[in-house]
């Protein structure tokens, strides 16, 4: 510090210049670190399935927290039938047209071994009607009335092999290779009481635009998991692939 006593009016100015040096140094270092860190992160941090690995960890951590905080069987809100609307068809490409009579569901990872299931087999299960809000990950939503069988009842009829922790649902319509679509679910969400294998929307059998003859309705997940025109279901011990998860979206997509 200075050895001479500065005059009173200069003291404050001199003092603050001293203090400022240190503070601005810290400020500069912090701003530089933040800016540099952001730049380096964007440029060099590794990616995993269309997004930064760090974000995959963050999404996983969020799901871990959600799982600990909420009972996984919390119900999504249900609405009166009169509130139902016709949702927007969100097929990105072509709407697949399939021969409904020839349609079969290929089931794999089950105790009875890989085999095909018909729509009649599924419709033999108890019918459930449910009016829930479909929430597209883009942001819009629609209250829709669905009729189908609980996935839980389906899994009870065709039990998965022990060790199954995930379900993979596939839509692979013949003649439409570009429309191949697949989702992965944690088995808890698949077995959630509101998860349906649905064949009717607003009282009418599904149209091709909405996934005829069978689609998944899972109101505790974003619309991306509500796969249309299911052609295959497989239980798995490892987390299966998911179309939009590979494009950077959260694999869990839970609401």
Partner 1 sequence: MNPSLDAAGKTVSAAVTTPVPAPAPRLVRKHPLAIRWLHWVNFPVLFLMIWSGLLIYWANDDYRIGWGGRTLFQFFPDKFYERFHIGFRLAEGMNWHFAFAWVFTLTGVAYALYVWLSGEWRLLVPRRESFAGAFQVVLHDLGLRKKPLPRDKFNHAQRIAYSSVIVLGALQVVTGLAIYKPAQLAWLAALMGGYQLARVWHFVITLLFVAFFLVHVAQVARAGWNNFRAMITGYEIQK
Closer to partner 1 by CB, 19 or 124: give it.
19
Q: What is the dihedral of CA 142, 191, 209, 81, to 10 degrees?
A: -40
Minimum distance from residue 79 beta carbon to partner 1 (Å): 10
- Give the H/E segment covering residue 234: strand 232-236
* Element counts in the chain: helices (H) and strands (E): 5, 12
Closer to partner 1 by CB, 73 or 114: give it.
73
Minimum distance from residue 198 beta carbon to partner 1 (Å): 17
Closer to partner 1 by CB, 21 or 81: give it.
21
Please choose, from the candidates 210, 82, 74, 67, the residue with its C-alpha nearest in 3D space to the C-alpha of residue 148.
210
Closer to partner 1 by CB, 83 or 237: give it.
83
- 193-208: burial string, b at 16+ Cβ within 10 Å, e else: ebbbbbbbbeeeebeb
- Give the H/E segment covering residue 51: strand 51-52
Minimum distance from residue 143 beta carbon to partner 1 (Å): 10
Closer to partner 1 by CB, 208 or 248: give it.
248
105 C-beta neighbours (distance < 10 Å), count: 22
Minimum distance from residue 99 beta carbon to partner 1 (Å): 35
Please choose, from the candidates 236, 71, 104, 255, the residue with its C-alpha nearest in 3D space to the C-alpha of residue 164.
236
Binding residues for partner 1, rule: CB under 8 A, are 8-9, 11-13, 15-16, 19-20, 23-24, 27, 30, 34, 50-52, 54-55, 58-59, 62, 66, 69-70, 74-77, 133, 135-141, 219-220, 244, 247-250, 254-255
Closer to partner 1 by CB, 24 or 204: give it.
24
Tell me the torsion sign for CA atoms 244, 91, 225, 142. Answer: positive
Closer to partner 1 by CB, 8 or 101: give it.
8
251 is written with which tokens?
């694999």
Minimum distance from residue 175 beta carbon to partner 1 (Å): 29
SS (H, E, C) 89-115: CCCCCCCCCCCCCCCCEEEECECCCCE
Minimum distance from residue 245 beta carbon to partner 1 (Å): 9
Minimum distance from residue 234 beta carbon to partner 1 (Å): 25
């Amino acid at each position: 510090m200075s050895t001479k006593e500065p005059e009173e009016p200069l003291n404050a100015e001199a003092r603050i210049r001293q203090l400022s040096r240190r503070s601005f140094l810290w400020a500069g270092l912090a701003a530089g670190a933040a800016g540099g860190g952001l730049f380096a992160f964007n440029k060099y941090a590794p990616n995993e399935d269309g997004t930064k690995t760090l974000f995959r960890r963050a999404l996983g951590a969020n799901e871990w927290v959600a799982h600990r905080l909420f009972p996984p069987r919390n119900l999504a809100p249900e609405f009166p039938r009169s509130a139902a609307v016709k949702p927007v068809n969100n097929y990105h490409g072509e709407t697949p047209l399939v021969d409904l009579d020839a349609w079969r569901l290929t089931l794999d990872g089950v105790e009875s071994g890989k085999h095909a299931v018909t729509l009649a087999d599924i419709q033999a299960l108890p019918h459930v009607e449910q009016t829930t809000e479909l929430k597209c990950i883009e942001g819009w939503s629609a209250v829709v009335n669905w009729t189908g069988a609980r996935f839980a009842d389906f899994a009870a009829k065709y039990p998965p092999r022990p060790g199954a922790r995930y379900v993979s649902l596939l839509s692979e319509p013949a003649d439409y290779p570009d429309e191949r679509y697949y989702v992965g679910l944690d088995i808890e969400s698949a077995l959630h009481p509101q998860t349906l294998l649905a064949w009717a929307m607003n009282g009418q059998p599904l149209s091709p635009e909405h996934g005829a003859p069978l689609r998944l309705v899972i109101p505790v997940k974003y619309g991306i998991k509500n796969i249309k025109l299911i052609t295959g279901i497989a239980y798995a011990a490892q987390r299966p692939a998911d179309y939009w998860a590979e494009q950077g979206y959260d694999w869990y997509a839970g609401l």
